[in-house]
Structure 1
């Protein structure tokens, strides 16, 4: 059996070095599942890191949670899912605290919560209650001195050992992030949005996968479709009449 202290330290390091890549999330998730006999201890690592690190690391861990619960569900280890259900409010409070310092993380929290709800990890009622609280914590990116094309900016490349500056309370001025932090956040947001666009166009494996995807995305046949088809048929008939198509005349002659 691996040394508990060593496992904890390694998992903590993986959480601190998460970024926009899927690889970093997969590596941390697989490590936690490989040592699932220490699930309570490793779950506590997640809570500690979202409470102790800078806002960039907290946002990265929030994105990681969705991937982690997917992996845990697939692995059949639902204890990780249950523990996150129990502590989701604590996580949200850490990622987007009510002192205004994590306002730029509110969109990150909303996005992940929406995904967790859709996948059945978090109850709808709990998510709705959290959204009500988040409305009071959200400010525009301009209030924080940020300017991201995607609106989800405040990542940083600061080392995990660096402590967060003391946040300013709402109404007492906004906490500004330096140029280096903003640039990395923008870059990682772009990477995530790029991956999301790729997933939209991705087609599942299988002989009829593309046809099934088109079928699912096509709306049901309705009255508008009947009307459109009738109008197109009428337009085609009028066009044939105007052209006096020889093929049509030949067909009518044979019928006569």
Structure 2
């Protein structure tokens, strides 16, 4: 049996070194599912790292949570999902706290919550209530010094954190250094690329085939007529370009109707 303290330390280290790549997210999620008998302890690791790490890591952990919940559902280990639902407010407060650094993570939280709702890991009324809180915390990307996650690349990092404008009554947060700003920009770009790729992703090939079948109209006489006309037009075009080409007929392709359409009939 694995040592609980070692498992906890290894999982915490993986969370601290998360990045925007899918491989990084899958590795940490697989590790947590491997030791699912310690699920309560590993879930507490997620909460602790959210409250201890910098803004970039908090954003990465938020995206990890979405990926992790999907893998846990496929593995039929719903304890992790139940614990997320129980502590979702604490998660949101950690990722997007009510200060300048948290403001740049508001869009991250909003995007992940919407995805969790679509995947039915969170109830719609819970997401709606959290959205009302996020509206109060949201400021522009210029105020926060960073933008994330769905914005144009030319907007990223347009204003350095040192020029962020403080808000009266809003708690201040430690400024991010230049390296962290550049890291966030690169990770946001990686996530943007995956979002664009996901537009063309078909999760279930058979489902897509069934959808196309339902949306396609039944084959009728007009379709046969159009097919014959296109066939004859193609043969004529090829014959005009190549004097040695012998145009094919519709014999064997459309039966008697095809031969009649080709001007031959049954002789």
TM (norm. structure 2) is: 0.70
| Larger relative contact order (Cα-Cα within 8 Å, sequence gap ≥ 6) | 1
DSSP-derived class of the 1:114 partner = helix
Q: Distance in 2 between matches of 1:13 and 1:149?
A: 24
Gaps of 5+ in 1: 155-167, 222-250, 252-256
Which residue number corresponds to residue 180 of structure 1? Answer: 179
For the pair 1:69 / 2:66, whether they are aligned, the reply is no
Counterpart of 1:22 in structure 2 is 22
Within 1, Cα distance between the matches of 2:149 and 2:90?
Answer: 29
Post-superposition offset of 1:11 = 0.2
| Cα deviation, residue 15, structure 1 | 0.4
Note the aligned Cα RMSD (angstroms): 3.2
Q: Which has the larger radius of gyration?
A: 2
Per the alignment, do residues 103 and 23 of structure 1 end up closer, same or farther by CA in structure 2, a change over 3 Å counting? same
Conservation of the 8 A alpha-carbon contact between 1:11 and 1:45: yes
Q: Is 1:197–2:199 an aligned residue pair?
A: no
Superposed displacement of residue 178, structure 1: 2.9
Count of residue pairs brought into register by the alignment:
212
Seen in structure 2, the aligned counterparts of structure 1 residues 149 and 63 have a Cα distance that, compared at 3 Å, is closer
Match of 2:81 in 1: 81
Offset at residue 39 of structure 1 (A): 0.4
Contact 1:144/1:177, CA 8 A, preserved across alignment: no
Q: Separation in 2 of the partners of 1:129 and 1:15?
A: 28
TM-score for both structures, normalised by structure 1: 0.73
Displacement of 1:169: 7.1
In the TM superposition, what is the alpha-carbon distance from 1:205 to its structure 2 partner? 6.0
Report if the CA contact (8 A) 2:20-2:191 is conserved: yes
Using the alignment, how far apart are the partners of 1:119 and 1:149 within structure 2? Answer: 20
Compute the displacement of 1:41 (Å).
0.2
**How many angstroms apart in 1 are the aligned matches of 2:169 and 2:107?**
22
Unmatched segments (≥5 aa) in structure 2: 158-164, 218-260, 262-267
Question: Does structure 1 retain, via aligned residues, the 8 Å contact 2:104–2:148?
Answer: no
Residue 97 (str. 1) matches residue 94 (str. 2): no
> How far apart are 1:151 and its partner, in Å?
3.4
Maintained 8 Å contact 2:29/2:68: yes
Distance 1:115 1:145 in 2: 26
